[in-house]
Amino acid sequence: MSDSDVTTAIQALVDRETRAWDEQDAEALVSIFHPDMVWPWPPDAHAHDPATWVFPWGRYDRERWKTSWQELFDTHTLVPNRRDTIKIVVSEQGDGAFAIVDVDTLRRDRDGKDFHWKGRACKGYTQVGREWRLILHTGLLEYAALA
């Protein structure tokens, strides 16, 4: 697979993930995750030192993660969901890649309280046979250039 083909495949996964968030479809969301997926989170969007990050969900558990995302979707209305791919980098071997994605997602609960995700994520992908899966996702960080 050429770098161009890999880049196209990774962008398609980023787009699938965006559609899952837009449609609040927990099943579609978990369908892109690799079984060994991990997702560390900074405690806030300015915590650039990974020594301060947390790991609330641990290794991917399909039913636990799907249930948690579905609960978020059931209790919050999606206001805007903007995601822009900044860069996709393919490994020299063509079997791994990462995408840098700027996210600005606002959800509102039934009481009108906003839940805002805004910042830059690094999403790591691995090739499994002929498919690509999301295996690592960092929580969102804000950078001076984004503010």
pLDDT tens column, 18-47: 999 999 999 999 999 999 999 899 999 999
The total number of structural domains that make up the chain: 1
The model's confidence at residue 14, banded by pLDDT at 50, 70 and 90, is: very high
The model's confidence at residue 58, banded by pLDDT at 50, 70 and 90, is: confident
State residue 146's pLDDT score. 52
Which domain covers residue 78, as residue numbers?
Answer: 3-146
Q: Return the structure tokens found at 141.
A: 């960080």
CA–CA gap between residue 48 and residue 91 (Å, rounded): 24
* Mean pLDDT computed over 79-89: 95
Q: Which residues pair with 121 in a beta bridge?
A: 101
CA–CA gap between residue 103 and residue 37 (Å, rounded): 20
Whose structure tokens read 């960080």? 141
Cβ atoms of residues 13 and 31 within 8 Å:
no
C-alpha count within 13 angstroms, C-beta hemisphere, residue 119: 20
pLDDT tens column, 89-102: 999 999 999 999 99
Q: Check whether 84 has a pLDDT greater than 70.
A: yes
* Mean pLDDT computed over 1-19: 93
* Mean pLDDT computed over 65-72: 95
CA–CA gap between residue 125 and residue 98 (Å, rounded): 6
DSSP 8-state assignment for residue 48 = -
pLDDT tens column, 85-141: 999 999 999 999 999 999 999 999 999 999 999 999 999 999 999 899 999 999 899
Q: Report the CATH number that the domain containing residue 51 is assigned in CATH.
A: 3.10.450.50
CA 108 vs CA 76, 81, 88, 111, 115: distances in Å: 5, 12, 31, 8, 6
Residue 40: exposed, middle, or buried by beta-carbon count in 10 A (0-12, 13-18, 19+)?
A: middle
Q: Which residues contact 90 (CB under 8 A, 6 or more apart)?
A: 3, 6, 7, 10, 96, 97
